[in-house]
Amino acid sequence: MPVLTRRQVLGLAGSLPVAGLPNSRLWAKPSGRVVVLGGGFGGATCAKYLRLAAPELEVSLVTAEERFISCPFSNTALVGLRDLASLTHGYRTLQERYGVRLIHARATQLDPARHRLSLADGQSLAYDKLVLSPGVELRWGAPHGYDRAAAEVFPHAWQAGPQTVLLGRQLTAMEDGGLVVIAVPETPYRCPPGPYERASLIAHYLKTHKPRSKVLILDAKDTFTKDRLFLAAWQRLYPGLLEWVAGSQGGRVIEVESKAGVVRTEFDEYTPAVANIIAPQRAAAIARTAGLDQDRGWCAVKASSFESVVHPDVHIIGDAAIANPMPKSAFSANIQAKACALAIVAQLRGQPLAQPVLMNTCYSLVAPDYGISISAVYRVENDTIRVVPGSSGTSPLDAPDATRALEADYARSWYANITADTFA
């Protein structure tokens, strides 16, 4: 498939229906109460774009945390390339500039029949439309023995914050010659290439500071996103330092004993100096307890509006939604949020839904000056998301160093742009 150049990607982004706002004639003053749950790249973006599209709407953003720490680029914080402060974002601009009502509280119960969301502080919010962007939760007990207590010994660091700090400290404290194990689950999970970027940057840190050490990826899968690009880069940059074990070759982690410091696969047992156990995931509990996942772990939606197939007037975006073939990524959540906002305004106006065009681009850092990427454009047809023929591609396998360095710069620019689009 042809590879999109950066210029082509930016050109496509500028032409997408969800990338900008239509002319004012189309926005005919809808009214209503919209509650958005979740303050990440999906929820915060959706709240902002609802107010941009229809300032008459009463939009409330419910998030338990007063500040958001992003998972994108958190792998760089693990190895000291940047700090968590640079990945931390507030909601003040959403409130002061865009008129989003902020509610910092934990949601406890959703009553779709009564159109109400209950909060831990005793509030009960009525809504005409509800947008859920609650993200993921870890499936504790998978692998066997991996629970909250075990995560304090073998961090997952898949929700940025204290776990990121913990894993980073363990890497810093590890003696030269230590073994770092990274356990990767079956898909779907948040950020498919994330574990392999993490392994790469840890390998870069060890090569620089602790060269007798080793990174071992124990994978439940036999293939992964951008695998040819990663494998080629590892062979070149980290020979003998980073090893990947596929699921069929004994890579599936089935049990951990955190007190004993043991990680087990079907065939082997390891006692690593540092173990990063990325557990299997599912949609956050608030969505599942309302039956929105239909006992599947993830929530099916109508592609034209991201409205739940189970309950009307409940829309689900981001990691919790089934939006195949789009991956669970920050870019996907951000652009789904815009499509969802436009769909909600159209529904409140009583107008037909547009068939949105969506896209995703995912950058990974193999080293600070070595970036790779994958991208695709999607079109909704008959309420199904499909890849636009010829739109998908990855970085060239034989790209020169200058191109890799340029993609690393693009990755940093992408992060600055998406966080500005979401929070600024």
pLDDT at 31: 75
Mean pLDDT, rounded, of the chain: 93
CB of 133 within 8 A of CB of 42?
yes
CB of 150 within 8 A of CB of 333?
no
Q: What CA–CA distances, in Å, run from 364 to 90, 213, 409, 411?
A: 25, 23, 11, 7
The structure tokens 């999607």 sit at 378
CA atoms within 13 Å, Cβ hemisphere of 288: 14
Residue type, 191: C
Cα gap 114→365, rounded to integer Å: 46
Task: Label residue 303 left, alpha or beta by phi (over 0 means left) and psi (-120 to 50 means alpha).
Answer: alpha
The structure tokens 């840190």 sit at 205
For domain 6-135+284-423, give its CATH number from 3.30.2270.10, 3.50.50.60, 3.90.45.10, 3.30.930.10.
3.50.50.60
CB of 341 within 8 A of CB of 420?
no
Q: Which two tokens stand for residue 36?
A: 């958005």
pLDDT at 9: 37
pLDDT at 201: 98
pLDDT at 47: 98
What secondary structure letter does DSSP report for 86? G
Query: pLDDT tens-digit profile of 321-351?
Result: 999 999 999 999 999 999 999 999 999 999 9
Q: What CA–CA distances, in Å, run from 362 to 100, 232, 357, 372?
A: 29, 18, 17, 8
pLDDT averaged over 10-residue windows placed end to end, the chain, 424 residues: 38 40 48 95 98 96 96 97 96 97 97 96 96 97 97 97 98 98 97 98 98 98 97 98 98 98 96 98 97 97 97 98 97 98 96 93 97 97 94 95 98 97 96
Question: 10 Å Cβ neighbour count for 171?
Answer: 22
**Topology of domain 141-277, per CATH?**
FAD/NAD(P)-binding domain (3.50.50)
CA atoms within 13 Å, Cβ hemisphere of 269: 6
Q: What CA–CA distances, in Å, run from 115 to 125, 387, 421?
A: 8, 34, 29
> pTM of the predicted model, to two decimals?
0.91
CB of 254 within 8 A of CB of 218?
no
Residue spans per domain, the chain:
6-135+284-423, 141-277
Query: pLDDT tens-digit profile of 350-369?
Result: 999 989 999 999 999 999 99
